[in-house]
Amino acid sequence: MVENTSKLETSPNIATIYVSSDLPEAGLMLKQRYHSSTTGTWQQVEWLQDSALDAQIDDALATLDDQERYQKYFTVQDELANRAVSVWIYDQVEKHAFRECVDWPASRNETSLIMGYQLFAAGIGVTCP
């Protein structure tokens, strides 16, 4: 898959891609999936090269105010959906059991339960005797 997606001529017409960002932040996911800088990698088999979209993603990532940044992400996501650049058919949801003495933000819906972000160790506390 990595070799095939490295060239436009050998990229498959359709592929199943699981991309998770380095942090649970929507903008990082948008950059990895749809920014021109990832063209020719397994992360972006659409070969979407759009400098205006790149600028929107970069601007959103540079926005410090959370609500303003989220609105910019919404605008980018809406554009991507309207352009039908991908087919989002499913997401990987994980279920985990945990002990009551573990302070796990994911159990309070304070973090994403998708793609492993609930295991961010810095946010997990333990009060077990």
Instruction: Assess whether 77 and 96 both reside in one domain.
Output: no
% of the chain residues with pLDDT over 70: 83
Q: Please compute, for residue 61, the number of CA atoms within 13 A of its CA located in the half-sphere on the CB side.
A: 18
The answer to whether residue 56 scores a pLDDT higher than 60 is: yes
Question: What is residue 19's predicted lDDT score, i.e. its pLDDT?
Answer: 72
Instruction: Assess whether 11 and 62 both reside in one domain.
Output: yes
CB neighbours (10 Å) of residue 42?
Answer: 17
Are 93 and 113 a contacting pair, CB within 8 Å?
Answer: yes
Instruction: Assess whether 14 and 77 both reside in one domain.
Output: yes
The answer to whether residue 77 scores a pLDDT higher than 90 is: yes
Q: What is the value of pTM for the model shown?
A: 0.71
Instruction: Kindly state the average pLDDT of the residues 37-60.
Output: 93
Instruction: Assess whether 10 and 69 both reside in one domain.
Output: yes
Instruction: Assess whether 22 and 43 both reside in one domain.
Output: yes
Distance CA 129, CA 126 (A): 9
Instruction: Assess whether 63 and 101 both reside in one domain.
Output: no
- The domain in which residue 24 lies consists of 4-83
Question: What is residue 115's predicted lDDT score, i.e. its pLDDT?
Answer: 57
Instruction: Assess whether 13 and 76 both reside in one domain.
Output: yes
Widest Cα–Cα separation across the chain: 60
Copy the structure tokens of residue 36: 């021109």
Instruction: Assess whether 23 and 63 both reside in one domain.
Output: yes
Q: What is the domain count for the chain?
A: 2
Instruction: Assess whether 68 and 14 both reside in one domain.
Output: yes
Picking from 12, 56, 16, 65, the residue whose alpha carbon sits closest to that of residue 34 is 56
Distance CA 82, CA 24 (A): 24
Instruction: Assess whether 76 and 102 both reside in one domain.
Output: no
